[in-house]
Amino acid sequence: MPPAAATNLGYTPPDGGWGWAVVFAAFISIGFSYAFPKSLTIYFKEIQEYFSVSYSEIAWVSSVMLASMYAGGPVSSVLVNRYGSRPVVMVGGLMVSAAMVLASFGTTIIHLYLCVGVIGGFGLAFNLQPALTIIGTYFQVKRPLANGLAMTGSPVVLSTLAPLNQFLFDSFGWRGSFLILGSIVLNCCVAGALMRPVKKKCNGAAAEDTGAQLSNLLTEESPSESRSQSCMHKFIDFSLFKHRGFLIYLIGNVVMFFGFFAPVVFLAPYAKHQGIDEYSAAFLLSTFALVDMFIRPATGFIGNTKWIRPRIQYFFSFAVSYNGICHLLCPLAPGYVGLVVYAVFFGLAFGMVSALLFEALMDIVGAHRFSTAVGLVTIIECGPVLLGPPISGALVDIFGDYKYMYYACGVFMLVPGIFFFIMHYYNYKKLDEEQRQSVTVEMRTSKDTLELKMSQDDKTAHETDG
């Protein structure tokens, strides 16, 4: 059974070769995109004391960075559709580097919001989307494995950056550390340099994808559109909001992201609330990250098998639902050992969703529309990503107990998981119906063409005989 959406790339992706170098580059770019905002929290205590600001004021540095990374999605998509992934990732790396160097000279917390938060966040957006997009141009058959490997960059870079940041902080303070991080993040430029446009083999001739690939994939501009509208539509495919599968994915993800990150954010505080010491609480996060690191490539491998790939949306639905079940059971976990078991199962669930999140979108809209689709999805997810943890924190403040927060996150994950199962069952049936109809139409068309040709041949033969 074919995947839910054809590639429509107009060429056969290599599914290997230089593609594996691109996966490694995406591993670096995606790793920095997701791990960088989290790893900066190590400096927050000193920065908070230095600028005499509150916990929430310092927390906004990471929140603004994450929000800019998500809000920068459509901008990143437009740039990728126009120039391709390589230059956008390299510019993104330079932006994050400049942001960290400028922040190291900051004299107010506002400077950090603007530098680290806005400039750095958009720089990370120019790393995330292009890295995800280019994988879809190199892989079709092995794409779930490629996506799973690339998404593994996040836990790997985080487990490297976290101790490195602690060492830099102890040795050079936050200003010196920011200056050094400004050089370390230039590795995103190196990763971008590896993202060579795919050589398309169309009718035997090889041609490099110039990055303006969207121009030959878009529908013609409708004459009624104004020039600015048609220009905007040229780079952002708004027809996606009429795409059944895309709407299912979008609706489910918006709900899901209200409960996706909070259990990670509150895992250590919840353990300390239970009377567990800070090192044992930190061990829970290390356990979670270690499991996450291994389950992502494993999930990509499983998603690539002939049993799962044709119905990979069910695999994604299971991963989302499994997250919800973990959080609903967490408050029942007995003592520290129970929390360690929860951290293992949560790491499995979080890693499965992370490995499948973008593969599921590519499977639905096809690699040729993924760049625009992921930009639209990320800017809409910006809200729940930002609001999720504060809402969960508010539940803890109101009830003075974490269990209601875990119940809420469990519902926020289980409901979209069940929604995905139901809606993708319906969507798969509709796709199969539409495919049968298109095959019937094609057969009828080719039959009519054949009959027309035969009658023309007979006519020619009679004229020759006559």
Q: Is 34 in the site for ligand COI (CB under 6 A)?
A: yes
Would you say 14 or 388 has its CB closer to ligand COI?
A: 388
Pair 347, 319: CB distance under 8 Å: no
Whole-angstrom CA distances from 228 to 72, 143, 148, 215, 231 are 20, 35, 38, 16, 5
Is 122 in a helix, a strand, or coil? helix
Would you say 114 or 265 has its CB closer to ligand COI?
A: 265
Interface with ligand COI (CB under 6 A), residue from 354, 371, 372, 392: 354
Would you say 286 or 456 has its CB closer to ligand COI?
A: 286
Interface with ligand COI (CB under 6 A), residue from 118, 131, 285, 357: 357
Would you say 35 or 198 has its CB closer to ligand COI?
A: 35
Restricted to residues 282-341, the positions that interact with ligand COI (CB under 6 A) are none
* CB neighbour burial string for 7-17, b if at least 16 within 10 angstroms, e if fewer: bebebebbeee
Q: How far apart are CA 351 and CA 210, in angstroms?
A: 34
Q: How far apart are CA 226 and CA 339, in angstroms?
A: 58
Query: Residue 415: which H helix or E strand, with range?
Result: helix 403-465
Restricted to residues 91-110, the positions that interact with ligand COI (CB under 6 A) are none
Q: How far apart are CA 237 and CA 201, in angstroms?
A: 25
Whole-angstrom CA distances from 254 to 166, 381, 387, 417 are 34, 6, 11, 12
Considering the complex, what minimum distance in angstroms separates the CB of residue 96 from ligand COI? 17
Residue 175 CB neighbours (<10 A):
16
Would you say 31 or 92 has its CB closer to ligand COI?
A: 31
Considering the complex, what minimum distance in angstroms separates the CB of residue 234 from ligand COI? 29
Would you say 62 or 354 has its CB closer to ligand COI?
A: 354
Q: How far apart are CA 372 and CA 133, in angstroms?
A: 9
Considering the complex, what minimum distance in angstroms separates the CB of residue 330 from ligand COI? 19
Restricted to residues 207-266, the positions that interact with ligand COI (CB under 6 A) are none
Q: Is 129 in the site for ligand COI (CB under 6 A)?
A: no
Q: Is 154 in the site for ligand COI (CB under 6 A)?
A: yes
> In the structure encoding, which two tokens stand for residue 272, read together?
């300390």
- The residue count for binding ligand COI (CB under 6 A) is 4
Considering the complex, what minimum distance in angstroms separates the CB of residue 457 from ligand COI? 59
Would you say 377 or 405 has its CB closer to ligand COI?
A: 377
Pair 269, 392: CB distance under 8 Å: no
Considering the complex, what minimum distance in angstroms separates the CB of residue 252 from ligand COI? 14
Residue 208 DSSP symbol: E
Considering the complex, what minimum distance in angstroms separates the CB of residue 296 from ligand COI? 8
Pair 272, 281: CB distance under 8 Å: yes
> What does the binding site for ligand COI look like in residue numbers (CB under 6 A)?
34, 154, 354, 357
